[in-house]
A and B are shown apart, each in its own frame.
Chain A
Amino acid sequence: MKIDTKHDDPIIATANKLRWEVGDYFHDSLIESIYKEAEVISAKVVTTAGKKSQFDFDKFIDRVVTSKWTGFPIMFLLLAAVFWITIIAANYPSGLIASVLVDTIHPLLKNLATSINIPWYINGVLIDGAYLAMAWVISVMLPPMAIFFPIFTLLEDFGYLPRVAFNMDNIYRRVGAHGKQALTMTMGFGCNAAGVIAARIIDSPRERLIAIITNNFSLCNGRWPTQILIATIFIGNLVPPIYGGIASAAAVVSVALLGIFFSLVVSWSLSKTVLKGEASAFSLELPPYRPPRILQTLYTSLIDRTLFVLWRAIIFAIPAGIVIWLVANVNIQGISLAEYFIRFVDPFALFIGLNGVIILAYVIAIPANEIVIPTVLMLTVLVTGVSGVGSGSGVMFELNNIEDVSMLLKAGGWTTLTGINLMLFSLLHNPCSTTIFTIYKETKSWKWTLLATLLPIMMGITICFLVAQLWRIFASV
């Protein structure tokens, strides 16, 4: 046995003996006495002159945003407005960046490479693989984030967001989480990696972990285009053409709502099981309303959130672009690696109502959900051998005409079930590598990172499997 000398120290021995007399609630009394002195000091130096007119203004806003009648409508309208502005305003710059980076610079680089006789494989790996993946990620990620984050930050600076947490806390309390999770979840609709970082605002360890692990259930910016495209092709076509738009919009919204539902259910089960042993202490301060500083906010949210996340995404996109090009172009006995893989997983994938192309696309497009559809299209061309579309094997592309996409996918053997299951799988699959890395950075734990990664993908496979079985039962009746 180790001999402990600490108790030989007379001071410590005395302190330990006296602690028994002082008792358990010493800390309480200590804080009480500090506050007593603080009161005395501030009474000496603080004077409040006249009526606190500004104060009533705060109170007025508070009453309005937390009232039973106006609270929810304001919240939803504001949120809807933020999303609407983001989607509408991001379209134009997105197209512009894509036309510069993808349509102009990419061919230029290709020509340059040919003219100076760079071997085709190096040219392919670097320009069609790495460069194109990076260009794609920038053009689809940058504009929405550069619009969404500043607006969100302005609302935060003004002091409105803590009130949202205050209003939503009742629901989150019931599932063992913190009201601020409503905010991190909303942030996740922009970008899951940003949502995960935003969980720092929750200072209770258990609730913070719940917010981090469930953030992936928010359908992020990179997944909306997939949802909209697939819904238009496979859901919109189920109803008469005039209702097509509404039906596909309803399908997309349902998937997003399903995501919110899953985030609550998973929060509840996490808090009851694996996270039971984590500390939990609720605290929520409502800061006074402050006029937001527009320029400062634009600057910091651009640097801190947008560029920070974008940089991480680019770092992951470049190697993925290389891998995407390689699997489509490295051939063994005349068949590409991609085709080997697709043939191999096809039976399993079809069994759960997806297909090998989708699985491979999700594996190699792990850096960003944005490049899933271009990868799917490229792989479908590769597998079906359809000619006249795309820009060559290993080169991701997008089609402007939805009819063309529809024809291509149907040539690839897609059914309505494939469409529905892809929408579900797009909601329920592992977070992108940027988010996974961010989760690790934030939790410093492989355990939680692994859980956050594997849980949604397990759920995705299970749900797809169930839907496929039900579909087959009802389709055969």
Chain B
Amino acid sequence: MNSFNNENCANCPAHNLNNLVKLGIDMSNFDFVVALAGNPNTGKSTVFNSLTGLRQHTGNWPGKTVGRAEGGFIYSNKRFKIVDLPGTYSLLSTSTDEEIARDFILFGQPDVTVIVIDATRLERNLNLALQVLEITDRAVLCLNLIDEAKRHKIKIDDRNLSKVLGIPVIPTAARQGVGIQELLKSIYDVASGSYICKPYRISSDIKGVNKAVEEINRMLKQKFPNLPNTRWIALRLLEGDQRIIDAVHSGEIAELAH
């Protein structure tokens, strides 16, 4: 169990320091760590630059973040480290990029994961957003390119979306700097614990496997009573995901409980 992270200390950092160090993140000068996830082509790097104020130049090839870029910002006297994860369509497939993103969110337990999505393609982008919400409790949805959506006469009820997903939803147009202040505030609120997320979890039936999922789920719950989302772990075990098999076997998975 993460000792920082108990009920008595609501606004203490929630990240997993040991794992972050293992993942190569130096936290010595920072209070919170924020992960930035999203599909390719959603303007994720623009959001990253807006948050860090371009002071931290990423040195990345525009249009494609490879590996991981890091930056930082200060908000309300707290120092935030922000990690730009590679743009992916999913967290369930087997590419290296997806593994990097998945392991960072799952094992690094960032204080906030900002999911950048393209407002003009909500449905397609929700695929990744829902997968991220399966593995973290603290997230903010950044509904980017809202200007483009307006041009295309697409209207998104962000309050309702926030209610459904159980996390803050902030419409932004990062290119114009619209919504960045609100995004910063939401990140701060979630990180400091003043906004408690109730993340949406996938619950619908998966053709013909419910019995199997339930059986493993029951066993997991018994062994790791504090784990927030054992159903997801059961699904990963059924897919033969070696990283999760190892984590369940070694008991490392229990560290993720809070």
Which A residues are within 8 Å of any B CB, using their own CB? 5-6, 9-12, 14-15, 18-19, 21-23, 26-27, 29-39, 41-42, 44-55, 153, 156, 197-198, 200-201, 203, 285, 287-288, 290, 293, 296, 300-301, 303-305, 308
Question: Are B238 and A29 in contact, with the CB atoms below 8 A?
Answer: no
B74 CB to closest chain A CB (Å) equals 24
Contact partner of A29 (CB less than 8 A), chosen from B40, B148, B206, is B206
A-B contact pairs, 25 of them (CB 8 A): A6-B249, A11-B219, A11-B237, A12-B249, A22-B209, A37-B126, A38-B123, A42-B126, A44-B161, A44-B164, A46-B155, A46-B156, A46-B157, A47-B155, A48-B153, A52-B152, A54-B151, A54-B152, A54-B153, A156-B63, A200-B61, A201-B63, A293-B175, A304-B60, A305-B61
Interface of A is mostly: helix
Contact partner of B206 (CB less than 8 A), chosen from A19, A33, A153, A288, is A33
Residues of B within 8 A of A15 (CB): 216, 234, 237-238, 245
Question: Are A27 and B239 in contact, with the CB atoms below 8 A?
Answer: yes
Q: How far is the CA of A156 from the CA of B202 in the complex (A)?
A: 37
Q: How far is the CA of A201 from the CA of B40 in the complex (A)?
A: 11
Residues of B within 8 A of A49 (CB): 153, 155
- Most chain A CB within a 10 A radius of its CB, from B165, B204, B207, B248: B207
Question: Are B157 and A45 in contact, with the CB atoms below 8 A?
Answer: yes
For window 36-76 of chain B, which residues contact chain A by CB distance below 8 Å? 40-41, 57, 59-64, 66
Contact partner of A200 (CB less than 8 A), chosen from B64, B156, B158, B200, is B64
Residues of B within 8 A of A201 (CB): 63-64
B211 CB to closest chain A CB (Å) equals 8
Question: Are A197 and B61 in contact, with the CB atoms below 8 A?
Answer: yes
Question: Are B62 and A304 in contact, with the CB atoms below 8 A?
Answer: yes
Q: Ordered nearest first, which 4 A-B pairs have the shortest CB separation?
A: A38-B126, A15-B237, A18-B212, A42-B123
B169 CB to closest chain A CB (Å) equals 9
Question: Are B204 and A33 in contact, with the CB atoms below 8 A?
Answer: yes
- Most chain B CB within a 10 A radius of its CB, from A32, A36, A45: A45
Q: How far is the CA of A45 from the CA of B171 in the complex (A)?
A: 13
Residues of B within 8 A of A21 (CB): 212
Question: Are A38 and B127 in contact, with the CB atoms below 8 A?
Answer: yes
For window 184-236 of chain B, which residues contact chain A by CB distance below 8 Å? 200, 202, 204-209, 212, 215-216, 219-220, 223, 234-235
Q: How large is the interface on B (under 10, 10 to 19, 20 to 34, 35 or more residues)?
A: 35 or more
Which B residues are within 8 Å of any A CB, using their own CB? 40-41, 57, 59-64, 66, 90, 92, 95, 120, 122-124, 126-127, 130-131, 148, 151-158, 160-161, 164-165, 175, 200, 202, 204-209, 212, 215-216, 219-220, 223, 234-235, 237-240, 245, 248-249
Query: Count of A-B contacts with CB under 8 A?
Result: 149
Contact partner of B41 (CB less than 8 A), chosen from A6, A14, A153, A285, is A285
Q: How far is the CA of A53 from the CA of B150 in the complex (A)?
A: 11
Question: Are B238 and A6 in contact, with the CB atoms below 8 A?
Answer: no
Residues of B within 8 A of A41 (CB): 126, 161, 164-165, 200
Contact partner of A46 (CB less than 8 A), chosen from B154, B208, B239, is B154
Contact A14:B215 (CB < 8 A) given known A45-B157, A287-B41: yes
Contact partner of A18 (CB less than 8 A), chosen from B64, B157, B238, is B238
B54 CB to closest chain A CB (Å) equals 9
Residues of B within 8 A of A26 (CB): 206, 209, 238-239
Q: How far is the CA of A31 from the CA of B235 in the complex (A)?
A: 12
